[in-house]
A and B are shown apart, each in its own frame.
Chain A
Amino acid sequence: DIQMTQSPSSLSASVGDRVIITCRASQSISAYLNWYQQKPGQAPKLLINAVSSLQSGVPSRFRGGGSVTDFTLTISNLQPEDFATYYCQQSYSFPRTFGQGTKVEIK
């Protein structure tokens, strides 16, 4: 299985901050990397697929980048509705695997 490791596991930030979440794959996954946002009591929501392709309706302050094994999710100008847990996920091979999540909390 491909292991996905996110860092940090949690972070505290203020409205207006820029935050960067990293995701490292245990082997090359090309561009098969997706990002999800999950709020308490809700299903995850797809934000970005294929490293950097923003889903329709997702604000442009979300940006994905990286390649091969190292990827980032950058949230610029953090808004109150962005406080949530974020997961990366690889679809390069089966089984599909997720990172352990990064919880973005209000400072």
Chain B
Amino acid sequence: QVHLEQLGAGLLKPSETLSLTCAVSNASFSDHYWSWIRQPPGKGLEWIGEINHRRTTYYNPSLKSRVTISIDTSRSQFSLELNSVTAADTAVYYCAAGTIYFDLWGRGTLVIVSS
């Protein structure tokens, strides 16, 4: 069974860089697209972006200037970096498998941005 385990820090100060990794087990990396999605507390879901095994990326234009999604196929991991964070970036960040639909999700990481 495919499993997505999220790794990374959950407390940041404004202007710092958010860095999260999603470790994938029991899946072929080339069979999926890999996405990041976030959810501010008490609010809805926002798609951040995705990457495939060829390292082709698509980003949400609203975040594109600050986002980098990368992939390490040798370690079956993909990562999210979001720079210059503000309080508005406080959210639960999910990694997920898929592009047309998201059928596998990590458990989520609460990232709080506070001075």
Give me the interface of A with B, judged by CB distance under 8 Å.
1, 32, 34, 36, 43-46, 49-50, 55, 87, 89, 91, 94-101
Structural contact, A44 and B44, CB atoms closer than 8 A? no
Structural contact, B47 and A101, CB atoms closer than 8 A? no
Structural contact, A44 and B101, CB atoms closer than 8 A? no
Query: Across the A-B interface, how many residue pairs have beta carbons closer than 8 Å?
Result: 54
Q: Is the interface of A mostly helix, strand, loop or mixed?
A: loop
Structural contact, B99 and A91, CB atoms closer than 8 A? yes
Complex Cα–Cα for A96 and B49 (A): 8
Structural contact, B108 and A32, CB atoms closer than 8 A? no
Complex Cα–Cα for A95 and B64 (A): 11
Given contacts A32-B100, A46-B101, A87-B44, contact A94 B58 (CB under 8 A): yes
Structural contact, A43 and B47, CB atoms closer than 8 A? no
Structural contact, B47 and A96, CB atoms closer than 8 A? yes
Given contacts A49-B100, A94-B58, A95-B61, contact A44 B107 (CB under 8 A): no
Given contacts A43-B94, A43-B107, A43-B108, contact A98 B47 (CB under 8 A): yes
Complex Cα–Cα for A43 and B94 (A): 8
Complex Cα–Cα for A61 and B44 (A): 25
The chain A residue sitting closest to B94, CB to CB, is A43
Contacts of A87 in B (CB 8 A): 44-45
Contact of B106 among A32, A43, A94, A97 (CB under 8 A): A43
Contact of B105 among A44, A49, A96, A100 (CB under 8 A): A44
